[in-house]
Amino acid sequence: MTGTPEEATVVEQPEVHHPHVHHRGGLPRWLELVIALTALVTSVSSIVIAMHHGEVMEKLVQANSLPFMQGGFSDATEQGEEILSLDLFNRGVGPAYQQSLRLSVDGKTVKSVRDLVAAAIGPELTAEAARKLDSLQNRVPKRYIPAGQQQFVFRIRKTPENAVYWDHLQGTQTSWNVEFCYCSVFDECWRVPGKWEQPVKAAACPRDEATEFVP
């Protein structure tokens, strides 16, 4: 054995390899959180904006489909013909579905043209007057009226044979009233409480067959 005793007692220490620390090459943690939060807020905002846009478009479609109906009596046409009539006008931009119609004379409900004649002229003249006052009648119980159009409910033309009764009937016209109810294609409904009056919002248009006017 060679070497000094001190050399002999030297023990070789094992070589320790320290792992290399790899530095993150991406963004700082706080910045990643900010980006993620920004993306989340952007997504939620996009959803809210899309929902609001959908509501706006739905309201726009409804606004472009609203009917606006009025009704009333007249005793002459634009051509100058003497005709007593009840007409319904849709002055809106969407179709109207008229579902209920009531007519009264001096507050008394009438259900037909014959009832109208009896209430206006009197029962003693009703039979003769009804025979001579021939009327054109639109007897459908409900009416679908496109935008910008109208439908008549009844028309009574004046003739030499019925002039006396027609004049009598025409003289009571101011005491007549019409009330009706209609809905849009979106089931929004309105009630018209009287001739040439403005529509009033209604929940629905129920029919009461005991008082409905069917010419």
Query: 185 pLDDT exceeds 60?
Result: yes
Rounded to whole angstroms, the Cα distance separating 90 from 143 reads 11
8 A C-beta contact, residue 190 and residue 200: yes
Query: 3 pLDDT exceeds 90?
Result: no
Rounded to whole angstroms, the Cα distance separating 137 from 165 reads 18
For residue range 157-174, list pLDDT tens digits in order: 999 999 999 999 999 999
When the pLDDT of each residue in the chain is averaged and rounded to a whole number, the result is 86
User: Within a domain: residue 59?
Assistant: yes
Q: Tell which of 63, 81, 116 closes a domain.
A: 63
User: Within a domain: residue 178?
Assistant: yes
For residue range 33-71, list pLDDT tens digits in order: 878 888 888 888 778 777 766 665 656 555 578 999 999
**By three-state DSSP, how is residue 110 classified?**
strand
Residues 51 and 86 in one domain: no
Query: 25 pLDDT exceeds 70?
Result: no
Strand (E) or helix (H) holding 32? helix 29-63
Residues 56 and 124 in one domain: no
What's the domain range around 100? Answer: 69-202
Structural domains in the chain (count): 2
Q: Is 123 left (phi over 0), alpha (psi -120 to 50) or beta?
A: alpha
Higher pLDDT, 110 or 11: 110
Residues 111 and 154 in one domain: yes
- In this prediction, residue 148 carries a pLDDT of 95
Average confidence (pLDDT) over 21-40 = 73
Residues 159 and 86 in one domain: yes
User: Within a domain: residue 194?
Assistant: yes
Dihedrals φ, ψ of 68, to 5°?
Answer: -145, 100
For residue range 123-158, list pLDDT tens digits in order: 888 888 988 998 999 999 999 999 999 999 999 999
User: Within a domain: residue 3?
Assistant: no
Residues 54 and 76 in one domain: no
Give burial (CB, 10 Å; 0-12/13-18/19+) of 82. middle
Residues 93 and 51 in one domain: no
Residues 90 and 166 in one domain: yes
Least confident piece of the model among 45-49, 82-86, 105-109, 189-193: 45-49
Report residue 47 as tokens: 């959803």
